[in-house]
A and B are shown apart, each in its own frame.
Chain A
Amino acid sequence: MVLTPYFLADEPFYAPQADEIELFTAAHALRQPVMIKGPTGCGKTRFIEHMAWRLGRPLVTVACHEDMTASDLVGRFLLDADGTVWHDGPLTLAVRHGAICYLDEIVEARQDTTVVIHPLTDDRRILPLDKKNELVRAHPDFQLVISYNPGYQSVLKDLKESTKQRFVGLDFTYPDAAREARIVAREAGIDEATATLLVKVADRSRNLKGHGLDEGASTRMLIQAGRLMARGISLTAACQMALVLPITDDPDLRASLTDAIAACQ
Chain B
Amino acid sequence: MTQLAEADRPDPLTLAASAGSATDRLLPGLTARVPVEDRAALERAAATFCVRFQPASLQRRALAAAAPALLDRAGAEPLARLLDLASDLGRRGRGGDATLVLAAVPRALRWLSDADDLSAWLAVVADVAERAPESLAAFAGETDHLLGRLGARGLAGFVGALIDLAAGRDDLRQALFSFRDPRAETLLLREAADVPLARLEPRLKGLVTALWSVEPVIRPSPAGGAQTARRSSFDGRILFLPDAYRGVRGEAAVTLIKAAALHMGAHLAHSGRPRPAKALKPLQIALISLLEDARAEHLALAQYPGLNRLWLPFHTAPAEGGTAEALLARLARVLADPDHEDPDPFVQKGRAAFREARDSWDDPDVLRRIGSGLGNDLGQMRLQFNSKTYAVQPLYRDDNQGLWQFDLPDQEQGAPDEISISVRIEQRETQTEEPDRRRTEDGGDEVSPVRLTEADPEAAFPLCRLPEWDAVSHRHRPDWVQVMEHPSRMAPAAIIDRLLSERPDLVRRTSALIRQARAGQPVRLRRQAEGDRLDLEAALRARIDLAGGHAPDTRVYETRTLNSRDLSVLVLLDISESTKDTIDGSPVSVFSILREAAAHLAAAMAEAGDPFALAAFHSDGREDLRYHRIKRFGEAFDTRAKARLAGLRPGLSTRMGGALRMATRDIQPMATHRRLVLIITDGEPSDIDISDPKHLVEDARKAVQEAAGAGIDVFCVGLDRTGDTYLSRIFGRQNVIQIDRVTALPDRLPKLYLRLTR
Q: Do A and B assemble together?
A: yes
A residues in contact (CB < 8 Å) with B: 69-71, 76-77, 79, 81, 83-84, 131, 155-156, 204-205, 207-208, 211-212, 252-253, 255-257, 259-260, 262-265
Interface hit among B206-214, B270-278, B360-368, B471-479: B206-214
Query: In the complex, how many angstroms separate the beta carbon of B58 from the nearest chain A beta carbon?
Result: 54
The contact of A252 among B206, B262, B542, B671, by CB within 8 Å, is: B206
A156: chain B residues at CB < 8 Å are 671
Complex contact A211–B532 (CB within 8 A): no
The answer to the question of B252 belonging to the interface, with a C-beta cut-off of 8 Å to chain A, is no
Query: In the complex, how many angstroms separate the beta carbon of A237 from the nearest chain B beta carbon?
Result: 15
Name 15 interchain pairs, CB-CB below 8 A, sorted by A.
A76-B557, A79-B556, A81-B546, A156-B671, A204-B211, A253-B206, A256-B202, A256-B203, A256-B206, A256-B207, A257-B206, A259-B258, A263-B211, A264-B306, A265-B305
Q: A69-B559, A71-B533, A79-B552 are in contact. Are A208 and B210 (CB under 8 A)?
A: yes
The answer to the question of B304 belonging to the interface, with a C-beta cut-off of 8 Å to chain A, is yes
Query: In the complex, how many angstroms separate the beta carbon of B264 from the nearest chain A beta carbon?
Result: 14
Complex contact B304–A263 (CB within 8 A): yes
Give Cα A76–Cα B554 distance, bound, in whole angstroms: 14
B532: chain A residues at CB < 8 Å are 69-71, 76
Complex contact A252–B215 (CB within 8 A): no
Give Cα A146–Cα B210 distance, bound, in whole angstroms: 31
Query: In the complex, how many angstroms separate the beta carbon of B553 from the nearest chain A beta carbon?
Result: 10
Complex contact A263–B306 (CB within 8 A): yes
Complex contact A260–B210 (CB within 8 A): yes
The contact of B203 among A81, A204, A252, A265, by CB within 8 Å, is: A252
The contact of B671 among A131, A155, A256, A259, by CB within 8 Å, is: A155
Complex contact B207–A260 (CB within 8 A): yes
Q: A262-B306, A264-B304 are in contact. Are A257 and B542 (CB under 8 A)?
A: no
The answer to the question of B524 belonging to the interface, with a C-beta cut-off of 8 Å to chain A, is no
Q: Mark B273-306, 1 if CB is under 8 A from A, else 0.
A: 0000000000000000000000000000000111
The answer to the question of B531 belonging to the interface, with a C-beta cut-off of 8 Å to chain A, is yes
B211: chain A residues at CB < 8 Å are 204, 207, 260, 263
Complex contact A71–B531 (CB within 8 A): yes
Complex contact B534–A84 (CB within 8 A): yes
Q: Which of B305, B531, B533 has the largest count of A CB atoms less than 10 A from its CB?
A: B533
Among all A-B residue pairs, the 8 with the closest Cβ atoms:
A256-B206, A263-B304, A252-B202, A263-B306, A71-B532, A204-B210, A260-B210, A256-B207
Give Cα A211–Cα B211 distance, bound, in whole angstroms: 13
Query: In the complex, how many angstroms separate the beta carbon of B105 from the nearest chain A beta carbon?
Result: 42
Known: A83-B543, A208-B209, A259-B258. 12 other contacts (CB 8 A): A69-B532, A79-B542, A84-B539, A204-B211, A207-B212, A211-B215, A212-B202, A252-B206, A253-B206, A256-B210, A260-B210, A263-B306
Residue of A nearest to B199 (CB): A252
Residue of B nearest to A77 (CB): B534
Query: In the complex, how many angstroms separate the beta carbon of B177 from the nearest chain A beta carbon?
Result: 36
From 500 to 533 in chain B, residues with beta carbon under 8 angstroms from any chain A beta carbon are 531-533
The answer to the question of B110 belonging to the interface, with a C-beta cut-off of 8 Å to chain A, is no
Complex contact B304–A207 (CB within 8 A): no
Complex contact A259–B533 (CB within 8 A): no
B554: chain A residues at CB < 8 Å are 79
Give Cα A207–Cα B671 distance, bound, in whole angstroms: 26
A71: chain B residues at CB < 8 Å are 531-533
The answer to the question of B309 belonging to the interface, with a C-beta cut-off of 8 Å to chain A, is yes
Q: Which of B202, B258, B543, B671 has the largest count of A CB atoms less than 10 A from its CB?
A: B202
Give Cα A151–Cα B533 distance, bound, in whole angstroms: 34
Query: In the complex, how many angstroms separate the beta carbon of A137 from the nearest chain B beta carbon?
Result: 23
From 686 to 717 in chain B, residues with beta carbon under 8 angstroms from any chain A beta carbon are none
The answer to the question of B326 belonging to the interface, with a C-beta cut-off of 8 Å to chain A, is no
B531: chain A residues at CB < 8 Å are 69, 71
Give Cα A256–Cα B203 distance, bound, in whole angstroms: 5
Query: In the complex, how many angstroms separate the beta carbon of A52 from the nearest chain B beta carbon?
Result: 29
The answer to the question of B217 belonging to the interface, with a C-beta cut-off of 8 Å to chain A, is no
B603: chain A residues at CB < 8 Å are none
The answer to the question of B307 belonging to the interface, with a C-beta cut-off of 8 Å to chain A, is yes
Q: Which of B206, B305, B671 has the largest count of A CB atoms less than 10 A from its CB?
A: B206
B210: chain A residues at CB < 8 Å are 204-205, 207-208, 256-257, 260
Give Cα A155–Cα B202 distance, bound, in whole angstroms: 26
A256: chain B residues at CB < 8 Å are 202-207, 209-210
Q: A263-B304, A265-B306 are in contact. Are A207 and B213 (CB under 8 A)?
A: yes
Query: In the complex, how many angstroms separate the beta carbon of A236 from the nearest chain B beta carbon?
Result: 10
Give Cα A81–Cα B304 distance, bound, in whole angstroms: 68
Give Cα A195–Cα B304 distance, bound, in whole angstroms: 16
Q: A69-B532, A81-B546 are in contact. Are A212 and B304 (CB under 8 A)?
A: no
A252: chain B residues at CB < 8 Å are 202-203, 206
B671: chain A residues at CB < 8 Å are 155-156
Q: A71-B533, A77-B534, A79-B539 are in contact. Are A259 and B305 (CB under 8 A)?
A: no
A76: chain B residues at CB < 8 Å are 532-534, 557
Q: A79-B546, A84-B539 are in contact. Are A211 and B309 (CB under 8 A)?
A: no
The contact of A212 among B206, B258, B552, B557, by CB within 8 Å, is: B206
Q: Which of A257, A263, A264 has the largest count of B CB atoms less than 10 A from its CB?
A: A263
Query: In the complex, how many angstroms separate the beta carbon of A111 from the nearest chain B beta carbon?
Result: 13
Query: In the complex, how many angstroms separate the beta carbon of A100 from the nearest chain B beta carbon?
Result: 25
Give Cα A207–Cα B310 distance, bound, in whole angstroms: 22
Query: In the complex, how many angstroms separate the beta carbon of B218 from the nearest chain A beta carbon?
Result: 12
Give Cα A208–Cα B214 distance, bound, in whole angstroms: 10
Give Cα A142–Cα B97 distance, bound, in whole angstroms: 94
Q: Mark B176-207, 1 if CB is under 8 A from A, else 0.
A: 00000000000000000000000000111111
Residue of A nearest to B560 (CB): A69
Complex contact B203–A255 (CB within 8 A): yes
Residue of A nearest to B545 (CB): A79
Give Cα A211–Cα B212 distance, bound, in whole angstroms: 13
Complex contact B539–A259 (CB within 8 A): no
Query: In the complex, how many angstroms separate the beta carbon of A244 from the nearest chain B beta carbon?
Result: 11
A260: chain B residues at CB < 8 Å are 207, 210-211
Residue of B nearest to A76 (CB): B532
Query: In the complex, how many angstroms separate the beta carbon of A245 from the nearest chain B beta carbon?
Result: 16
B203: chain A residues at CB < 8 Å are 252-253, 255-256, 259
Q: Mark B661-672, 1 if CB is under 8 A from A, else 0.
A: 000000000010
Complex contact A208–B305 (CB within 8 A): no
Q: Which of B207, B215, B531, B557 has the largest count of A CB atoms less than 10 A from its CB?
A: B207
Residue of A nearest to B214 (CB): A207
The contact of A207 among B209, B262, B307, B539, by CB within 8 Å, is: B209
A259: chain B residues at CB < 8 Å are 203, 207, 258
Give Cα A5–Cα B588 distance, bound, in whole angstroms: 80
Query: In the complex, how many angstroms separate the beta carbon of A76 from the nearest chain B beta carbon?
Result: 7
A84: chain B residues at CB < 8 Å are 534, 539
Give Cα A79–Cα B381 distance, bound, in whole angstroms: 100
Give Cα A204–Cα B533 distance, bound, in whole angstroms: 49
Query: In the complex, how many angstroms separate the beta carbon of B214 from the nearest chain A beta carbon?
Result: 9
B213: chain A residues at CB < 8 Å are 207
Query: In the complex, how many angstroms separate the beta carbon of B72 from the nearest chain A beta carbon?
Result: 43
Query: In the complex, how many angstroms separate the beta carbon of A84 from the nearest chain B beta carbon?
Result: 7
Q: A69-B559, A79-B554, A252-B203 are in contact. Are A211 and B534 (CB under 8 A)?
A: no
Give Cα A69–Cα B556 distance, bound, in whole angstroms: 16
Give Cα A70–Cα B532 distance, bound, in whole angstroms: 7
Query: In the complex, how many angstroms separate the beta carbon of B644 from the nearest chain A beta carbon?
Result: 29
From 526 to 576 in chain B, residues with beta carbon under 8 angstroms from any chain A beta carbon are 531-534, 539, 542-543, 546, 552, 554, 556-557, 559
Query: In the complex, how many angstroms separate the beta carbon of B173 from the nearest chain A beta carbon?
Result: 37
B258: chain A residues at CB < 8 Å are 259
Query: In the complex, how many angstroms separate the beta carbon of A129 from the nearest chain B beta carbon?
Result: 12
Query: In the complex, how many angstroms separate the beta carbon of B699 from the nearest chain A beta carbon?
Result: 24
Give Cα A255–Cα B261 distance, bound, in whole angstroms: 14
Residue of A nearest to B206 (CB): A256
Give Cα A262–Cα B306 distance, bound, in whole angstroms: 6
Query: In the complex, how many angstroms separate the beta carbon of A152 from the nearest chain B beta carbon?
Result: 14
B215: chain A residues at CB < 8 Å are 211
B556: chain A residues at CB < 8 Å are 79
